[in-house]
A = this chain, B = another copy of it.
Amino acid sequence: MALVPAWLRQYRAGWLAGDLTAGLIVTVMLIPQSLAYAMLAGLPPQVGLYASILPLVAYAALGSSMTLAVGPVAVASLMTASALQPLALAGSPEYAAMAVQLALISGVMLLAFGVLRLGFLAYFLSHPVISGFITGSAVLIAIGQLQYILGVRIVGAGVMEKLTGLVTSWQHANLPTVVTGVATLVFLLLARRAMAPLLERWGVPASMAGLLAKLAPMVAVVVATAAVAIGRLDQTAGIAVVGAVPQGLPALALVLPDADTLGLLWLPALLIALVGFVESVSVAQSLALQRQQRIVPNRELLGLGAANIASAVSGGYPVTGGFARSVVNFAAGAHTPLAGVVSAALMALVIAAFTGLFFHLPHAVLAATIIVAVTSLVDLDTLRRAWRYDRADALSLVGTALGVVVLGVEAGILAGVALSLGALVWRSSRPHMAVVGRVPGTEHFRNVLRHKVETVPGLLALRVDESLFFANAVVVEDRIGEQLQLDPGLHHVLLICSAVNQIDATALEVLTELERSLAARGIVFLLAEVKGPVMDRLRTTDLGRRLEGRVFLSVHEAFLFARRRHAQAS
């Protein structure tokens, strides 16, 4: 890998305007989001700002996407909160220190996966599981933010505690806070639905109108902060505000975790790494496809790993590629990761000089931006499609979402993975099987139940449409056993392996046992259409040796063999 990234070596002057504009617009989105997501993660606001500087530069140096906008995101913030809340008090220095460790461990894991080229690990998370996970997280996040809209403080991390807390503390709600929060919610929802069409009607070009609509959260932040500051509403009306945010660039430091911390954080760090990687790659990929660029998953691992380590070094917390900001970055004309570097520079400027501006920013406004941001993550389309196409996948989606809401993010995603693996095994454990015969006058063989075909008396020709492995080998054996009971005169059993891509050790044992017991009853076991790679491995086994001369390239040859032997016998 070159020290200077390819995009920088090949930089063209014509790209600069787009990169500068995109960098600026993303920064305007990033400021409220970084404050809000830090609050969601249980961290002081400046941590969100810290996580929005160096990680962007690190990703620009190593990542493969031209337009992915890296930084704090909602789901990783929720996962951070969920991992750390049992271990330390939210807002405390220990909590922030553990968030740094979480980013560091995640980052090292991502880098290691990249170096070891283990990007494929992320593909173990099926789309329904990811969709269910994100939907469940969005619900959990929204429920968690309602306390800020009400202006009450709820203790307890579980969803049931939060819900009962909301119900019981309803009467303690702070009215000015509720008004601020609800007004922001209404404004943001209207902005999302109606602002772009409205602007277009006023003559603003469609693409620009869409971008401006994305800046609504910044408008809400500015207006609300100004109103609170002018009216001193934090003191007169009891509206909770962000307060003093330490000014100045983050101090750089690398603190390695001790064994205890590693033991506590490895699993959440791994899940944050994997989920963040999957989200990033899918956003990056869909943007890259539109410009006929390519994403290299193993390069993404390096880029995201470096970004998280950079976040840890500069006092941040886990980051990844964000959906909304990446889309805006792309639409605003970013050509290269220089746009991210521009954002990073602007964020550095903000934190070096302007954090005083956030003093009067109400928590309720941040909570409203989070709630509106995550409602777009609730993904009922995937559920609807999965339900129509594949019930098992739909159930693993719903199971994951419910798991996340009821059991929490870690248990939820693990339950989801278990469900999707279970669905996979379950589907393959009920293979489609067909007894076949020859279409007269041809060398084609078809299901005897569906076609008028010729059979050889005493020959059972069974096609299995599935790889043979531990969960279905016995099912195939049982089916052959059934057929033997139906037709005690069978003397040849032919297994057609045209759809058998693999035979695992369990299936090999079952077939070996089957061949032996058939042989003991005087029945000849035949194979046909065994694929090259399967045959290569079969040849080295006992079964392969016993079957020598009885494995046929085509069903037709096996058919002729059985007919010849039948004729000789009778």
Contacts and interface: CB of A to CB of B under 8 A. Distances in A.
**Copies of the protein in its oligomer:** 2
B424 A290 contact: no
Contacts of A420: 470
Interface in A265-295: 286, 289-290, 292, 294
A113 interface: no
Given A290-B520, A485-B294, A505 B389 contact: yes
Given A386-B505, A389-B508, A513-B289, A470 B126 contact: yes
B505 A127 contact: yes
A107 interface: no
Contacts of A498: 498-499
Contact of A465 (B386, B431, B531): B531
Contacts of A394: 505
Given A286-B513, A424-B469, A470-B420, A126 B505 contact: yes
A354 interface: no
Interface string A136-172: 0000000000000000000000000000000000000
A428 B502 contact: yes
Interface stretch (A173-181, A340-348, A471-479): A471-479
Residue with the highest number of chain B CB atoms closer than 10 Å, among A125, A289, A290: A289
A205 interface: no
Interface string A379-402: 000100110111001100000000
A393 B432 contact: no
B499 A499 contact: yes
A127 B470 contact: yes
A389 B385 CA distance: 40
A541 interface: yes
A128 interface: yes
Interface string A410-442: 000000000011001101111110000000000
Contact of A421 (B421, B505, B537): B421
A15 interface: no
A5 interface: no
Q: How large is the interface on A (under 10, 10 to 19, 20 to 34, 35 or more residues)?
A: 35 or more
A100 to B, nearest CB: 31
B127 A509 contact: yes
Nearest to A421: B421
A386 B390 CA distance: 34
A504 B390 contact: yes
Given A123-B470, A124-B471, A125-B470, A504 B388 contact: no
Contact of A472 (B123, B485, B504, B513): B123
Nearest to A464: B501
Nearest to A469: B424
Given A123-B470, A470-B126, A470-B127, A501 B499 contact: yes
A540 interface: yes
When A and B form their complex, which 7 residue pairs have the shortest distance between CB atoms, in order from nearest?
A126-B470, A393-B505, A127-B506, A289-B517, A386-B505, A126-B506, A421-B421
26 contacts: A120-B429, A120-B471, A120-B475, A123-B429, A123-B471, A123-B472, A123-B473, A124-B471, A126-B471, A126-B505, A127-B505, A286-B513, A289-B517, A289-B520, A290-B517, A292-B521, A388-B540, A390-B504, A390-B508, A420-B470, A424-B504, A427-B504, A465-B501, A466-B467, A499-B501, A499-B531
Given A123-B474, A382-B505, A424-B504, 7 more contacts: A123-B471, A289-B520, A390-B505, A393-B504, A431-B501, A465-B501, A465-B531
